[in-house]
Amino acid sequence: MKTSSQPRRGSFGLLALCAALSVLLSTVVVNLGSTPAQAQQPQSSFTVEGGGWGHGLGMSQFGAYGRAAAGHTSTEILQAYYQGVEVESRAVTNNVRVHLSTSSNTTLSFGSTAKIKLDGKLIAEAGKEQNIAVSRLASRWAITVGGVDICVPQPVADGQEPLPNPCIGNQLRFVVKDLVDQHLSTSSHSYRHGRLELTPTSSGATTFYVVLGQLKMDEYLYGLAEMPSSWAAEALKAQAIAGRSYAEGRILARRADSNWNRPFDLFATTQDQAFTGNSKELGAFSENWVGAVDATNKIIATYNGTVIDALYGSSTGGHSENSEYVFTNKVPYLRGAPDEFDSYQNPLASWTRTYSADELTRWLSAGVGTIENVNISGNIGVSGRVNKATVNIKGTEGSTTMTGDRFRILVNAGLQSEGRWSRDDQILSTNFKLVGPDDRAPLGELSKVQGRVGKVRVAGWALDQDTNAAIRVQVSIDGKRVKTRQAKRNTAGLDARYGVGNNHGFRINVKATPGTHEVCVTAVGNVKGGPTTGLGCKTVTVKTKTDDDPKPDPSGDIPVGELEIVRVASVSDPAIRVAGWALDPTSNDSINVAFDIDRQEAARSTARFERDDLDSYGRGSAHGFDVTLPTTTGKHQVCVRAISANGEVAVIIGCQDITVG
């Protein structure tokens, strides 16, 4: 079961949660007060620090992406997340039925003539792109085609028995030739495979199921919007096999269940898997995803000869969980394990949320007055998840407890009731802990470490959520601290995320001798002797004057940028990772970039990723790009062109030769 659309989610997806929380001891008690327990004072705010997005069982999609980038095959990826499974080819179901919506009315149209059949009998035809409005009455259908009611009984001669209403019946089916768009208003998607079927939810009901039936398994997978199609090929193959295995397992189980009486096998939402039809199959980089499905045709994951329940999620936060901790049953192939690859290009690898005492009091409805203190104790999962742990809540009028799972559900429901649906507000997983103001370590990001002529430049941001004041950043070279400066540059977006102002960026130049050095940066909290946070280390080469490259000057009216990374992303399914930045000096908008391989355009994308080191140019920070391009083995020249905001000027910002294989 999938709980996100991002990368999805997705679709996706489906959307980069503290890298794995340590496996906690049998009891974790976090005092949210800033004074000793015996003199504990009520707190005005409470902070949740967490990692990952989803239930934490089975495959991490970001982890699969990271493993693919490290050269792992799809089989190796799957066997890392589903312990002891086999990846094999076998026959699978090829009449998949997907629930698209439940409604009392809908409008359909088709890319060619559509035959309208009721319980197998032809009752009308609709022309190409002609709207068909359908609703359900207690005992019959109401159908208009192009505004004409087709359910009016036909006239008969005097003395003859009147004909029954032609729309009395059970299941409506719309028959068109394959690979023709089928549009459906209640799902906001279109489909090019299968047949649309409408069936009342029960006898006498005025609601009906809308189902896409007669789908081959791979046709279903073509529309599965669970992983970005631009990701590395082996990650996409792993996703295709996991998606096929999950679907096959659910179909077999439901068809064998005497209590399952619905006319479909799978939901088109994350209740099962996110299915969006043409939006996925014909979307950006769709050929990569369709190719991954085709390349893994009939391949599924099995355990002791039985197809597995291939649960997966966006991100585990660095450690997956045991199945029995999240659900009930102990499943031998769904065991918790560390995952160092989960943080790869993952914006949700770690996250922090802060809520006021008044907010928690409203949302938890705990009946203890105004909430003063909260802590967690008891049954912690092997990953650090708190699904079954005890959240202890103390208020002005008493105390109560609830599970960590319940705490997350109530907080998220409270946020949604107040219109705060953004994942930047929600608690994204049960992989979290509660910390008080005195316990919080500083946050930050090291966005650039660059060797220049006779010096090293580091850039990024660092803040302490307990204060609006700038905090210190320490730079070390080869293990020796060489400079300490305040992080006080303006960095757009920080105040919106953390509520402590935007002046927390840093850009520091440190003298260094020519050669290779390890550079590390540490953020120091606002409390003397309090926690610090390592923002990262990187090995760089300090240049001499002869090999120094001038930095692009973002002035004038033509695009500028840098091609920073050209690397082999995969050898088994050849692909290249290309990253850098590009901007138009005349516009704050993210601009398009074109990627040429051997002087032929291979793809286009938008330079839209956040890059805090670009803020000083005065055009915002959303100008980074990072894509994976499929290619062939051998030597290639990769060039990147930045395209102006008005689309009239294209400038090559860099080229690099690379050998794949």
Cα-Cα-Cα-Cα dihedral sign, residues 32, 33, 36, 37: negative
Q: How confident is the model at residue 469 (pLDDT cuts 50, 70, 90)?
A: confident
CATH of the domain at 479: 2.60.40.10
d(CA 526, CA 468): 10
CB neighbours (10 Å) of residue 356? Answer: 13
Residues 6 or more apart from 386 whose CB is under 8 A from it?
376, 380, 403, 404, 405, 407, 430, 431, 432, 433
- For residues 126 and 204, state if they share a domain: yes
Q: Which of 157, 181, 215 is the last residue of a domain?
A: 215
pLDDT at position 428: 97
Counting the structural domains of the chain, the total is 3
How many angstroms separate the Cα of 563 from the Cα of each of 402, 626, 652? 51, 10, 9
Phi/psi at 79 (nearest 5 deg)?
-70, -20
What are the start-end ranges of the H helices in 296-380? 323-326, 357-364
Asked whether residue 453 is assigned to any structural domain, the reply reads yes
Judge contact between 235 and 70, C-beta under 8 A: no
Render pLDDT for 106-124 as a digit per residue (tens, 0 to 9): 999 999 999 999 999 999 9
- For residues 498 and 573, state if they share a domain: no
Residues 6 or more apart from 45 whose CB is under 8 A from it?
354, 355, 356, 357, 437
Render pLDDT for 69-95 as a digit per residue (tens, 0 to 9): 999 999 999 999 999 999 999 999 999
The DSSP symbol for 122 reads E
d(CA 231, CA 569): 10
Judge contact between 240 and 296, C-beta under 8 A: yes
Asked whether residue 193 is assigned to any structural domain, the reply reads yes
- Which range, of 330-334, 419-423, 432-436, averages the lowest pLDDT? 432-436
Report cis status (omega within 30 of 0) of the bond before 332.
no
Asked whether residue 421 is assigned to any structural domain, the reply reads no
Render pLDDT for 572-619 as a digit per residue (tens, 0 to 9): 889 999 999 999 988 889 999 999 999 999 999 999 887 766 766 778
Examine the pLDDT at 519 and tell me if it is beyond 80.
Answer: yes
Examine the pLDDT at 135 and tell me if it is beyond 70.
Answer: yes
Mean pLDDT estimate for the chain: 87
**Residue 187 carries which side chain, given as an amino acid letter?**
S
Classify strands 650-660 and 634-643 as parallel, antiparallel or unpaired: antiparallel
d(CA 389, CA 373): 17
d(CA 40, CA 481): 38
d(CA 656, CA 643): 19
Asked whether residue 196 is assigned to any structural domain, the reply reads yes
The residue-averaged pLDDT of 125-146 equals: 95
Question: Tokens 């095959």 label which residue?
Answer: 73
More confident of the two residues 28 and 248:
248
d(CA 605, CA 589): 14
Rounded to 5 degrees, what angle do the CA atoms 203, 207, 211 make?
100
User: Which of 563, 644, 558 lies closest to 596, judged by CA?
Assistant: 563
Q: How confident is the model at residue 195 (pLDDT cuts 50, 70, 90)?
A: very high
Q: Which of 547, 579, 613 is the last residue of a domain?
A: 547
- For residues 466 and 516, state if they share a domain: yes
Q: Residue 339: how many CA atoms within 13 Å on its side-chain side? A: 40
How many angstroms separate the Cα of 651 from the Cα of each of 564, 581, 584? 16, 13, 11
d(CA 616, CA 634): 39
Q: How confident is the model at residue 464 (pLDDT cuts 50, 70, 90)?
A: confident
Phi/psi at 384 (nearest 5 deg)?
95, 0
Cα-Cα-Cα-Cα dihedral sign, residues 265, 268, 274, 277: positive
How many angstroms separate the Cα of 8 from the Cα of each of 216, 471, 483, 626? 23, 35, 41, 17
Render pLDDT for 483-504 as a digit per residue (tens, 0 to 9): 999 999 888 778 877 778 889 9
How is 611-656 classified by DSSP, letter by letter? -GGGGGGTS-SEEEEEEEEE--SEEEEEEEEEE-TTSS-EEEEEEE
Residue 172: give the domain boundaries: 99-215
pLDDT at position 20: 32
Residues 6 or more apart from 484 whose CB is under 8 A from it?
472, 473, 474, 475, 524
Helix (H, G, I), strand (E, B) or coil at 70: coil
Asked whether residue 572 is assigned to any structural domain, the reply reads yes
Rounded to 5 degrees, what angle do the CA atoms 204, 205, 207 make?
155
Q: Which of 514, 547, 580 is the last residue of a domain?
A: 547
Judge contact between 506 and 471, C-beta under 8 A: no
By CB neighbour count within 10 A (0-12 exposed, 13-18 middle, 19+ buried), where does 115 fall? middle
CB neighbours (10 Å) of residue 45? Answer: 17
- For residues 506 and 601, state if they share a domain: no
How many angstroms separate the Cα of 81 from the Cα of each of 107, 240, 301, 559? 42, 15, 11, 43
Render pLDDT for 529-582 as a digit per residue (tens, 0 to 9): 567 889 989 999 987 765 445 556 565 778 999 998 998 888 888 999 999 999
d(CA 274, CA 297): 20
Q: What percent of the chain is predicted at pLDDT more than 70?
A: 88
Q: How confident is the model at residue 661 (pLDDT cuts 50, 70, 90)?
A: confident
d(CA 425, CA 416): 9
Q: Point out which residues pair with 609 in neighbouring strands.
A: 624
- For residues 520 and 582, state if they share a domain: no
* Helix H or strand E segment including 75: helix 74-81
Q: What's the gap between Cα 41 and its chain centre?
A: 39
Judge contact between 100 and 268, C-beta under 8 A: yes
pLDDT at position 44: 80
Asked whether residue 603 is assigned to any structural domain, the reply reads yes
Asked whether residue 484 is assigned to any structural domain, the reply reads yes
- For residues 485 and 542, state if they share a domain: yes
User: Which of 608, 480, 461 lies closest to 535, judged by CA?
Assistant: 461
The residue-averaged pLDDT of 28-45 equals: 42
Classify strands 121-126 and 195-200 as parallel, antiparallel or unpaired: unpaired
Asked whether residue 80 is assigned to any structural domain, the reply reads no
Judge contact between 497 and 463, C-beta under 8 A: no
Buried b (16+ CB within 10 A) or exposed e, 405-444: bebbebbbebbeeeeeeeeebbbbbbbbbbbbbebbbbbb
Start-to-end CA distance of the chain, whole Å, equals 36
The residue-averaged pLDDT of 381-401 equals: 93
- For residues 114 and 199, state if they share a domain: yes
Examine the pLDDT at 312 and tell me if it is beyond 60.
Answer: yes
Phi/psi at 442 (nearest 5 deg)?
-65, 155
Q: What's the gap between Cα 652 and its chain centre?
A: 32
pLDDT at position 376: 87
- For residues 537 and 620, state if they share a domain: no
The DSSP symbol for 416 reads H
- For residues 570 and 524, state if they share a domain: no
